């Protein structure tokens, strides 16, 4: 008889806990359903220029199939799949090198220190946003080029 009462008490407590959990309403719980973006097929052109404006890499038409990407992801993907050259990106997503062309070169001109960094243009116009903030669209013309900034750039 004591055994039956103990089992009944345990089952009652379990029922109360489950009922309270069911009535929680889900406040404070993260939404677990995420929508995957649909794959895209886009044709773009990619160019890479050195500090002197010389064209180092010219990809007049590249067809990309996959999840939507930003310009850095796209150039990384292209060079990883289609080329023997490499792209170097740091842990913050900053482009450091495309093939043999590297940013971060420090030079001194007339006692002024300059450091190079990568920037980009979109469809012939200098971009006003960081490349990781833009999703590449069909027909885009993307150009990466080195720029020089006064002072040393630190990470």
Percent share of the chain, pLDDT over 90: 60
Per residue in 14-30, pLDDT (tens digit) is: 454 455 455 555 555 55
Provide mean pLDDT across the span 128-134.
Answer: 93
Q: How far apart are CA 64 and CA 82, in angstroms?
A: 11
Q: How far apart are CA 134 and CA 72, in angstroms?
A: 10
User: Is the CB of residue 114 less than 8 Å from the CB of residue 106?
Assistant: yes
Least confident among 16-25, 121-130, 145-154:
16-25
Domains of the chain: 40-150 (2.170.130.30)
């Amino acid at each position: 008889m004591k055994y039956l009462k103990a089992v009944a008490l345990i089952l009652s407590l379990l029922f109360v806990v489950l009922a309270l959990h069911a009535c929680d309403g889900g406040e404070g719980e993260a939404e677990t359903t995420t929508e995957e973006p649909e794959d895209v097929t886009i044709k773009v052109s990619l160019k890479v220029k050195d500090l002197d404006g010389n064209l180092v890499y010219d990809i007049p038409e590249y067809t990309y199939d996959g999840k939507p990407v930003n310009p850095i992801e796209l150039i990384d993907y292209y060079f990883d799949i289609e080329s023997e050259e490499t792209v170097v990106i740091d842990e913050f997503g900053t482009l450091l090198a495309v093939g043999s062309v590297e940013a971060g070169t420090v030079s001194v001109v007339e006692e002024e220190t300059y450091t190079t960094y990568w920037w980009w243009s979109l469809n012939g116009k200098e971009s006003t946003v960081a490349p990781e903030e833009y999703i590449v669209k069909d027909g885009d013309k993307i150009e990466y080029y080195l720029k020089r900034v006064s002072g040393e750039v630190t990470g």
